[in-house]
Structure 1
């Protein structure tokens, strides 16, 4: 049912924009035997224009699960143009507080349309 409803919503004249895949690891948190990090991956929102040349994306995902997990949510920085006409985005932030601690993260999205 969801697939059918989604197809109907995208049949109008509204053009979809690009997204970016991302993956990363949080920075280490806690001490001694509890010291650990988490991995995460996902796909950003479509682009959100901030002026006529720049845009950002939002993202929200969960980390992997040890005996707990965290949410990773952020708005990317503006597009960083690459030599081949494609671009990436820098993302920094802090996870939700779970199991009494947070993790910082910093990563770059993957390029848009990697095979095109």
Structure 2
């Protein structure tokens, strides 16, 4: 996560997607995680939904995710990432 502000730092987090939620001709997932820690502070992550499925071939797909953490210590973090494929080789 990139920071907005003077005190540059980043956070790491991991989550798990929930069941598929039908959305138009595709589907999205809710991502379940609560917070991200870095040294002496943390940010909460609100309910986050992925974007629709993006095919990567062989019947596999990923989802793009964008969002923002809660405000803590005077700043928030914007984030952009793609989900990973559970079994990319099978």
Q: TM-score, normalised by structure 2?
A: 0.84
- Structure 2 alignment gaps of length 5 or more: none
- Deviations along 1:42-69, one digit per CA (max 9) or x if unpaired, are 1111111113x40000113211232111
Q: Bigger radius of gyration, 1 or 2?
A: 1
SS in 2 for 1:64: strand
Q: RMSD over aligned Cα, in angstroms?
A: 1.6
Alpha-carbon deviation of 1:85? Answer: 1.2
Moved over 3 A (4+): 112-116
Q: TM-score, normalised by structure 1?
A: 0.67
- Structure whose residues are more often helix by fraction: 1
Distance 1:63 1:115 in 2: 30
